[in-house]
Amino acid sequence: MKMRSVMPMRIAKIGYIVMSVLFCAAGILFIAAPELSVSVIGICIGVAMILFGIVRLIGYFSKDLFRLAFQFDLEFGILMIILGVIVLFNPGNLMVFICALLGISILLDGLFKIRIAMDSKRFGIKSWWLILILAVVTGVFGVFLIYDSVIGARALSVLLGLTLLSEGAVNLYTVISTVMIVKNQFPDVIEADAFEVDGKER
């Protein structure tokens, strides 16, 4: 029987790790340099969301062994690409608009990561509680990012940085702890070869 290729899983896992690290780096940058212009922030976030959306779609269709980290990535991949395009083509809009879009996406991601943490517990993954904590923290930052429109631009940039850092951390830890790549993995559906019985193909 032909084994399933692990290349899509490997691409998805590496892509997830790279994008998560980039989100963390962007978060640190926005915290350290809150004076960055709205246009620069919008372009960076828009490109990052589109790339991460593509990586999520690859992850969903890769069919990894546990099906934990990527199980909701069809919907979130499409959502992130759409939001990324909106932000990318409106980089000069108010910071509040950009933060609201990103905050909604991150809040939803945090909620679904809570579900992944619960599923990880049932799978016997010992560090499921850390995924849960990171998911809750990420969701809380997402809520703050949506509703904190009254604070100054510099403070909002710092909040954005903290949210991106949290989002990167929860995605990084989730993919490292729950995605296993097994080389000798069979397809989901066993495709039996045709054979003949009494001269008839079966």
CB 55 within 8 Å of CB 171? no
Q: What is the pLDDT of residue 132?
A: 92
Residue 144 backbone dihedrals phi, psi, to 5 degrees: -60, -40
User: C-alpha distances in angstroms, 26 versus 41, 161, 174?
Assistant: 9, 7, 19
| Per-block mean pLDDT, blocks of 10 residues, the chain (202 long) | 66 86 89 77 83 86 68 83 83 66 85 88 87 91 75 73 89 83 54 44 42
Q: What is the pTM of this model?
A: 0.70
The DSSP bridge pattern shows strands 200-201 and 196-197 to be antiparallel
CB 135 within 8 Å of CB 170? yes
Q: What is the pLDDT of residue 174?
A: 87
Query: Look-up: residue for tokens 């993954």?
Result: 125
Residue 197 backbone dihedrals phi, psi, to 5 degrees: -130, 120
Q: How far apart are CA 25 and CA 33, in angstroms?
A: 12
Q: What is the DSSP letter of 202?
A: -
Q: Is 8 exposed, middle or buried (0-12, 13-18, 19+ CB in 10 A)?
A: middle
Q: What is the pLDDT of residue 192?
A: 42
Which tokens go with 54?
Answer: 């593509």
Residue 5: count of CB within 10 angstroms of its CB: 12
